[in-house]
Structure 1
Amino acid sequence: MSITLDRKVFQSSELSRQPLPVFAAATDAPVEITRRDDTPLVLMSLRENDARDSLLELAAQIIAITVDEDPRPLGERFADVFNWMWALDAVDREQCAVDLIRSSRASFATKKAYLAMAELASWQATAAATADGLTNAEVEWMKKPVSVKRPE
């Protein structure tokens, strides 16, 4: 086994003779399986593959939004694709759009899909909370404690 920048590399003979270490490595990150007379293969978990698919889908949506010549603000164009963003106010829609673009760039640069997907999930939760009426209103605390009887 050798290690490249992003993934461990195993020979196909290692996979056939001692598969457990190869499978264990593939559980953590994609591994490259080299073959004597053919192109290498990549072995990864379904979770990793699904995360990459989700990131690519998000990237395709972001690219489509950003190259569109629609003159409206970026947040509105994003909300047309990500309808849950309409629950956010205009300022938050703009911030959400910028955050999604930046986190996607970070995901591509680091090959860590979870960065963009976590940002997306966080903004979706914020939109849901906003739609439920939760706000950042300041909490008014009681100035004096109130004594209550002990329950019987």
Structure 2
Amino acid sequence: MTTKSFPYSAFLRGPSQVLPSLDDADVVLERRDDEDLVLMRAERFEAGVATLRIAARSLAILARRNSSLAEEVLTEELPWTTWLPLTERHECVRDLLGHLVAGADTGELLPFSRALISWRSTAVVWSDPQLARELQGPFPGDGAEISRPLGEDA
């Protein structure tokens, strides 16, 4: 699907100038001081959500029945996963699939997006062996000593 962009102010001044574009495109309303907004017909939105739900659940079923094939599929789609150690690669696949299925079911995809960014950053660290070694410790522990907080269990 194509998108067409308009300044948000153009939409506020005259929605009838912008809304006809929804016949063949989604509309991005560009705002200067905030995130852009997207307008789309409900039918296209619902089709996208339904498609995502089916794809996510299908991939999750595949992962349960053949985890190595699911990992191969995700590794092909997300080539940076090859930088992860094998155990973390398995955890990454499970974590991303869990977020994807939950997001497809609820429509809330930000947790998946955050997890994807986090795992990609982790993979980048693993791609630099020196940095990976440094971040695994041991750490000198030469900071100031702080006392244990008093709580209900203390």
TM-score scaled by length of structure 2: 0.47
TM-score scaled by length of structure 1: 0.47
Greater C-alpha Rg:
1
**If each structure's helix is expressed as a fraction of its own residues, which one has the higher value?**
2
